[in-house]
Amino acid sequence: MNKIRILSDNLANQIAAGEVVERPASVIKELIENSIDAGATRISIDIELGGRRLMKISDNGEGMTRDDAILAFERHATSKIKEPEDLGRIGTLGFRGEALASIASVAKVELTTKIEDELAATLVQIEGGRLIDVRDAARPTGTTIAVRDLFFNTPARRKFMRSEATENYHLTSIVQHYALAHPEIAFTLTNNGREVLQVSPAKDLRERAFQVFGAGLLESLLPVRGGREFTATVSGYISAPRERRTNRDSQYFFVNRRFVRDKAIAGGLLEGYRSVLPHGVYPVAFLFVDVPLEEIDVNVHPAKTEVRFRRTEAVKEAIAEAVRNALASAGIVAHGEPVEEPVEERFVSTAAASTESPYFADQPKMYFDAGEPAPSEPALNIPAPVAVREDADAYFSYSPPIEEAFSVPPSQTDGSFEQFEENVPTPAAISADSVALPPMNSAERFAKPAEVAAVSGHAIRPIAQLHESFIIAVDDEGLLLVDQHVAHERILFDKYRARETGRETESQNLLLPETLDLTPAQSEAFQLIEDQLAELGFDVMKLSGRTIAIKSIPTDLPAAEAKNLLAEILDNIEVDKRGAAKSTLRDDIAASLACKAAVKINMKLTPEKMQWLIDKLLLTSSPTTCPHGRPVILRLTMKDIERGFHRT
Ligand code: ADP
Ligand code: MG
């Protein structure tokens, strides 16, 4: 007896739904995309119970005729492509004709729609893929789709839904994505009747980002514009390195305005931040990548959130380059890292890219404001898609005794401090509370992280040390505050990296080799970075099993910390980075080393040391940003000071 049979349409739809409808947010994604494709300028979304009970979306798009409204739920029913050639040039968000059929097969759906030329609207009711009712209804031109009881007929899938809060998070995130991709469209999102997001049409991405995230984040966003014509043009915003996230949830990528999750884009973005952000810390980004339709295949994933670029590496490099340029323009990294330019491609000038991009109605120029703390939550009341890394300070909390930190021979002056003189003269201490001063205007508002161009080439003279942690200095432009720890960290980071590339290993022998028993994970990590460690000045011998002996360590490092330090580095190297570029690993290690070896806060510095630190700092690749993305120098210009005293 034959055993093969063709599945019923409904069963086929349910199977397809497994791929298209992963969770409530995927339903909302498909429905929003349909509304956008229908030319809507207003989209409102109502959610109940994390999308389980209800997801309703209304738009003022072109609507559907009665016949189309019924046909829309058939599998492979689409108005968006006609011929095989169309697949090679897809300009709409939808094209597979699967979404409505899939959704209707696993939920109770009610569609009401009206086109402009007809008086009556049509209501179509479908439950679990079965047409229940079609009748006249009333509504203005546009479409409303209510999806109730998702997965009511597929209990197994229903169980896979997460908590209401989790599903809400994903729902909100999707709406946020599309709100950012389409500033010209008004969006409203309510959750259990409570308004979560409400944005009116905005003139550009910047204004939309302000509507969605508020002023706090906006101020640390840097405009990106660039890329390469014929490969990928890039526009949008990225965050200054001080804005850190522990995951990629605050990275919004769009390819030809389609929301995607894409490794090449994420990789290019991180590559652009190399040396100002460590591994495991992610920038905020709104990146719009525009590629010629024939350079991309959007039909590689049922949910259409993945795309395939014809030239992935070129796209990645175009993005990295645009990001680097944005950071350089903001004075965060030095300009002029030579970029290889393939001959057949022309670099897209700022002007060219900005006219192509719909996201820059005006030319935003944003400044840092040291007074504005990084928002720990978005302005929206949503579960922290932009949570700030809380453990960042752990990097800076370790402080060995002074003797250990500086047990380096005085001859090594290219990055290390000599032994400190203990009897540094200090100004007579004045007790602050003994003098009653009027309240001061917070200078926070005026002091800004310095830009590279604003500090290099100036003679900077240290005046004093504040709280044994910050150097107060002056130059022609005004007052500067230098964070001594991060300044030294930057110097050492550059030094370690240069040393690695230059291969002139400098290390100090330990009096007695230190043995260390590695955990299995550490041992894995050790295999991975053995070479880089050697290049950086670690001489490590493998003993039996997972035991190693440390014979020498890089200069500058406190010898007593050799063991802990190595263990820490190994813990921080994730084994999933096995495939990571050597340069990334090297940067990670260099950043850890620099942090450990750098002078701590709460440590007295002589005027000579302060001057040395500043001079060295100015020679580094990025004097104003530490390898972990923090500002190194705050600046108060004469103008700011005069403004503060109301002299202007
Ligand atoms: P696709 O978007 O891939 O074409 P869908 O199943 O999402 O497939 O939708 C099927 C068709 O229904 C669309 O091609 C479109 O013609 C129509 N449609 C769906 N939603 C709307 C809407 N909100 N407004 C107007 N037409 C719509
Ligand atoms: Mg669709």
77 in ligand 1 pocket by Cβ < 6 Å?
yes
Closest ligand 1 atom, residue 102 Cα: 6
For the segment 358-365, the average pLDDT, to the nearest whole number, is 33
Closest ligand 1 atom, residue 59 Cα: 23
Q: What does the pLDDT look like over 302-332, one tens digit per residue?
A: 777 888 999 999 999 999 999 999 999 988 8
Mutate to test the pocket of ligand 1, among 32, 37, 95, 114 (most ligand atoms within 8 A of CB): 37
Which own/partner pairs from 5-8 qualify as long-range (CB within 8 Å, at least 24 positions apart)?
none
104 in ligand 1 pocket by Cβ < 6 Å?
no
**Across the chain, what does the average pLDDT equal?**
78
576 or 259, which is more confident?
A: 259
- 180 and 218, same domain (yes or no): no
Contact 588, 421 (CB under 8 A): no
214 in ligand 1 pocket by Cβ < 6 Å?
no
Distance CA 210, CA 519 (A): 47
Choosing from 154, 189, 224, the residue where a domain stops is 189
User: How many whole angstroms from 14 Cα to the centroid of ligand 1?
Assistant: 18
Residue 177 C-alpha from the chain's centroid? 14
The predicted pLDDT at position 436 comes to: 53
Q: Tell me whether residue 123 is exposed, middle or buried, using C-beta atoms within 10 angstroms of its C-beta: 0 to 12, 13 to 18, 19 or more.
A: buried
Choosing from 280, 298, 329, the residue where a domain stops is 329
Domain assignment of residue 32, yes or no: yes
Domain assignment of residue 248, yes or no: yes
Q: Which residues contact 582 (CB under 8 A, 6 or more apart)?
A: 531, 532
Q: What is the torsional sign of CA 584, 588, 594, 600?
A: positive
> With bands split at pLDDT 50, 70 and 90, how would you rate the model's confidence at 178?
very high
Q: How far is CA 43 from CA 23, 190, 580, in A?
A: 20, 12, 42
- 220 and 176, same domain (yes or no): no
Residues in a beta bridge with 507: 554
- 97 and 239, same domain (yes or no): no
75 in ligand 1 pocket by Cβ < 6 Å?
no
Tokens representing 340 are 């290889």
- 223 and 183, same domain (yes or no): no
Contact 324, 333 (CB under 8 A): yes
Work out how many domains the chain is built from and give that number: 2
176 in ligand 1 pocket by Cβ < 6 Å?
no
Q: Is the pLDDT of residue 21 over 80?
A: yes
User: How many whole angstroms from 80 Cα to the centroid of ligand 2?
Assistant: 9
Distance CA 550, CA 279 (A): 25
78 in ligand 1 pocket by Cβ < 6 Å?
yes
User: How many whole angstroms from 207 Cα to the centroid of ligand 2?
Assistant: 28
Q: Tell me whether residue 67 is exposed, middle or buried, using C-beta atoms within 10 angstroms of its C-beta: 0 to 12, 13 to 18, 19 or more.
A: exposed
- 21 and 162, same domain (yes or no): yes
Distance CA 91, CA 70 (A): 24
The predicted pLDDT at position 599 comes to: 84
- 149 and 83, same domain (yes or no): yes
Range of the domain at 123: 9-189
Alpha helices in 537-578 (DSSP H): 562-572
Query: What secondary structure letter does DSSP report for 188?
Result: E
Contact 489, 626 (CB under 8 A): yes
- 245 and 315, same domain (yes or no): yes
Q: What does the pLDDT look like over 498-530, one tens digit per residue?
A: 765 655 567 888 888 888 888 777 777 788 888
User: How many whole angstroms from 24 Cα to the centroid of ligand 2?
Assistant: 15
Domain assignment of residue 468, yes or no: no
Closest ligand 1 atom, residue 142 Cα: 24
Helix, strand, coil percentages (3-state) for the chain, rounded to 5, are 35, 20, 40
Choose from 98-112, 167-181, 563-577, 586-600 the range with maximum mean pLDDT: 98-112
- 138 and 220, same domain (yes or no): no
- 150 and 235, same domain (yes or no): no
Q: Residue 101: which CATH number? A: 3.30.565.10
Q: pLDDT over 90 for what percent of the chain? A: 32
Q: Is the pLDDT of residue 210 over 90?
A: no
- 103 and 37, same domain (yes or no): yes
Q: For atom 25 of ligand 1, which residue has the closest CA?
A: 63
Distance CA 90, CA 300 (A): 13
The predicted pLDDT at position 354 comes to: 35
User: How many whole angstroms from 97 Cα to the centroid of ligand 2?
Assistant: 6
User: How many whole angstroms from 35 Cα to the centroid of ligand 2?
Assistant: 8
> What are the counts of helices (DSSP H) followed by strands (DSSP E) for the chain?
20, 23
Question: Parallel, antiparallel, or unpaired: how do β-strands 130-137 and 121-127 relate?
Answer: antiparallel
- 60 and 184, same domain (yes or no): yes
Residue 320's CB: how many other CB atoms inside 10 A? 20
Q: Which residues contact 209 (CB under 8 A, 6 or more apart)?
A: 180, 217, 218, 221, 237, 286
The predicted pLDDT at position 133 comes to: 95
Q: Is the pLDDT of residue 150 over 90?
A: yes
User: How many whole angstroms from 144 Cα to the centroid of ligand 1?
Assistant: 12
Domain assignment of residue 182, yes or no: yes
Residues in a beta bridge with 547: 517
Choosing from 292, 311, 329, the residue where a domain stops is 329
The predicted pLDDT at position 555 comes to: 81
Q: What does the pLDDT look like over 560-596, one tens digit per residue?
A: 778 888 887 887 765 555 556 667 777 878 888 888 8
Tokens representing 92 are 């709409």
Closest ligand 1 atom, residue 63 Cα: 25
User: How many whole angstroms from 104 Cα to the centroid of ligand 2?
Assistant: 13
59 in ligand 1 pocket by Cβ < 6 Å?
yes
80 in ligand 1 pocket by Cβ < 6 Å?
yes
The predicted pLDDT at position 441 comes to: 55
The predicted pLDDT at position 257 comes to: 86
Q: Is the pLDDT of residue 129 over 80?
A: yes
Name the one residue in this structure whose structure tokens are 């929301």. Answer: 259
User: How many whole angstroms from 96 Cα to the centroid of ligand 1?
Assistant: 10
> With bands split at pLDDT 50, 70 and 90, how would you rate the model's confidence at 136?
very high
User: How many whole angstroms from 69 Cα to the centroid of ligand 1?
Assistant: 9
Q: Is the pLDDT of residue 240 over 70?
A: yes
Phi and psi, residue 351, nearest 5°: -65, -45
Domain assignment of residue 297, yes or no: yes
For the segment 279-307, the average pLDDT, to the nearest whole number, is 84
Domain assignment of residue 444, yes or no: no
- 30 and 155, same domain (yes or no): yes
Q: For atom 27 of ligand 1, which residue has the closest CA?
A: 34
Name the one residue in this structure whose structure tokens are 């917070």. Answer: 442
Q: What is residue 465's three-state secondary structure? A: strand
Q: What angle do CA 441, 442, 443 make, to 5 degrees?
A: 110
Q: Residue 219: which CATH number? A: 3.30.230.10
Domain assignment of residue 458, yes or no: no
Domain assignment of residue 107, yes or no: yes
95 in ligand 1 pocket by Cβ < 6 Å?
yes
Length of the chain as a residue count: 648
Closest ligand 1 atom, residue 93 Cα: 2
User: How many whole angstroms from 96 Cα to the centroid of ligand 2?
Assistant: 7
Tokens representing 151 are 């997965």
Compute and round to an integer the Cα radius of gyration of the chain: 29
Distance CA 68, CA 63 (A): 9
Residues in a beta bridge with 197: 189
Write a three-state SS string for 316-370. Answer: HHHHHHHHHHHHHHCCCCCCCCCCCCCCCCCECCHHHHHHHCCCCCCCCCCCCCC
AA identity, residue 522: Q
Write a three-state SS string for 244-256. Answer: CECCHHHEEEEEC
Q: What angle do CA 307, 14, 253 make, to 5 degrees?
A: 20
One-character DSSP codes across 125-168: EEETTEEEEEEEE---SEEEEEEESTTTT-HHHHHT---HHHHH
Q: What does the pLDDT look like over 463-496, one tens digit per residue?
A: 999 998 999 999 888 899 999 999 999 998 888 8
Alpha helices in 537-621 (DSSP H): 562-572, 582-597, 607-618
20 in ligand 1 pocket by Cβ < 6 Å?
no
Element spanning 274, H or E? none
96 in ligand 1 pocket by Cβ < 6 Å?
yes
AA identity, residue 147: V
